[in-house]
Amino acid sequence: MPFAFFFLESEGFAGLKKGIRARVLETLVMLLLLALLILGMVWVASALIDSDAASMESLYDLWEFYLPYLYSCISLMGCLLLLLCTPVGLSRMFTVMGQLLVKPAILEDLDEQIYMITLEEEALQRRLHGLSSSVEFNIMELEQELENVKTLKTKLERRKKASAWERNLVYPAVMVLLLIETSISVLLVACNILCLLVDETAMPKGTRGPGIGSASLSTFGFVGAALEIILIFYLMVSSVVGFYSLRFFGNFTPKKDDTTMTKIIGNCVSILVLSSALPVMSRTLGLHKLQLSHTSRDSETAKPSANGHQKAL
């Protein structure tokens, strides 16, 4: 992400031929200078806080302890964002799928909607013909509104041409599937809360899960593991839908032919933060039993660091 941002802002060094190679060179130099700047600031801050840390051994602490701690902080912010976005996304999933799929005839009347859109289109065309050419602002606004109405009419006509099985079978099946997945997710979370309240061994400090490949990740074997994967993927999609449904992040929504590179980078960073926090949230809610930290890694964090201080992240 930093490379993409600096590459977008770079123009190439003076005296070099303009092109991709010059921009890449400037971007790499900027990344190197930024890394040296951050490393120097951390090293100076460490030297001011503790005089014994102003040595090459503090670089080991930076890589071994502080970077994982920084990643944990980012995951914490992602978890808070997920806890905010996921409930909104779970409630919005039914609305979003209802807009994408063709509803049965008993739930919506496409003929009436097309008739109303046609009347609105004719009214806008009459208003456009009645305005004088001097009122440019109103003409541009009406033309944009007319274009939106035509796009909506095209979508309605395409939905009207859908087959009977797509109209009467796909929509109910998808809605039932969403309801089942949401119910199973809520049930698993409720069971995990009860286990945490009743059984002390269900706490993270009271149990050590098996390593990957040592035992089945689910009580129900392969079927249970597949169900957990589906539920985690469903929560990920719901969190993304909820993220773009929030009013504060509504401007981040990508639009066709109207998305800047800076907005694309912001979307990528948001998805990375959400995806990095998804395993932590899934483990916290009890959707899977896989340990997120290795046993040997936990034991090493209790050892003193290279400069004689004990780290415990």
**Beta carbons of 266 and 251 less than 8 angstroms apart:** no
Condensed to tens digits (0 to 9), the pLDDT of residues 193-244 reads 888 787 665 555 555 554 444 444 455 677 777 888 888 888 888 888 888 8
Q: Report phi then psi at 212, rounded to 5.
A: -65, 125
Q: What is the largest CA-CA distance in the chain?
A: 83
| Neighbour-count burial of 64, counting CB atoms closer than 10 A to its CB (0-12 exposed, 13-18 middle, 19+ buried) | middle
State residue 30's pLDDT score. Answer: 84
Q: How far apart are CA 59 and CA 39, in angstroms?
A: 9
Q: Which two tokens stand for residue 273?
A: 């933060």
The amino acid occupying position 307 is: N
State residue 281's pLDDT score. Answer: 80
Q: How far apart are CA 295 and CA 301, in angstroms?
A: 10
Rg (CA), the chain: 28
Consecutive 10-residue averages of pLDDT for the chain (313 residues): 74 74 82 81 69 55 68 79 86 84 69 80 78 60 78 76 74 87 86 78 52 48 79 87 84 77 81 82 72 48 47 45
User: Nearest-CA neighbor of 39 among 9, 71, 7, 61?
Assistant: 61
State residue 61's pLDDT score. Answer: 64
Reduced 3-state DSSP string for 80-109: HHHHHHHHHHHHHHHHHHHHHCCCCCCCCC
State residue 216's pLDDT score. Answer: 47
pTM over 0.85: no
State residue 7's pLDDT score. Answer: 74
State residue 57's pLDDT score. Answer: 57
State residue 302's pLDDT score. Answer: 46
**Beta carbons of 245 and 92 less than 8 angstroms apart:** yes
Quick one: which H or E segment has residue 15?
Answer: none
Q: Report phi then psi at 178, rounded to 5.
A: -65, -40
